[in-house]
Chain A
């Protein structure tokens, strides 16, 4: 298996633009997580899905952030409009039965 695949690896955008991050989980995994990591706040859980259904989005910072999982093999995290404080590394992770998480390589987002 190729592991969790995220795209793009790097994204540089200007404030106010829409940003879409993509994730393909490991086949057969039933949980998918979106995390954000910064030096100041460490690893923060934004939202997670179980069998494509959002379970807990309490970590989503504000209405500018939205996430979808239209099927078992694809998820997106969208920020609209983006702000400089959104600059961070965004990780997607998947797991089977919410145990061991496998992370993608992350998307380094820079909002200028």
Chain B
């Protein structure tokens, strides 16, 4: 079993839709969690941290469920520019583990 698992997608949704991804992790003692965004042929960039209480950044909401060992990313009112691959990251020091990514495509 992989330590961090993501649905690879692709998710193909219309502009304006709400879309959510989950990411499950196997190590219950994991300490920190993040979402990264990677555009085609570009480097991954930090999108947001994930806090236990859940957190929002504009149209993006991240949540952590420690009991079920998953993190989620919700994108509301999706834009064409949201099309990218979204990678979850789980940290259990000293290990930083990237998920394989979920591809999202927003259509007009």
Which A residues are closer than 8 A to B by beta carbons?
Answer: 33, 42-43, 45, 50, 55-56, 91, 98-106
Contact = CB atoms under 8 A, between A and B. Distances in A.
Main secondary structure of the interface of B (DSSP, over half): strand
A103 B45 contact: yes
A55 B49 contact: no
B93 interface: yes
B101 A100 contact: no
B69 interface: no
Contacts of A91: 43-44
Given A43-B101, A91-B43, A91-B44, 13 more contacts: A42-B101, A43-B44, A43-B98, A45-B98, A98-B91, A98-B94, A98-B96, A100-B49, A101-B46, A101-B96, A103-B43, A106-B42, A106-B43
B32 interface: yes
Contact of B43 (A55, A56, A105): A105
Interface of B: 32, 34, 36, 42-46, 49, 87, 89, 91, 93-94, 96, 98, 100-101
A90 B42 CA distance: 11
B94 A102 contact: no
Given A42-B100, A42-B101, A56-B94, A100 B34 contact: yes
B94 A55 contact: yes
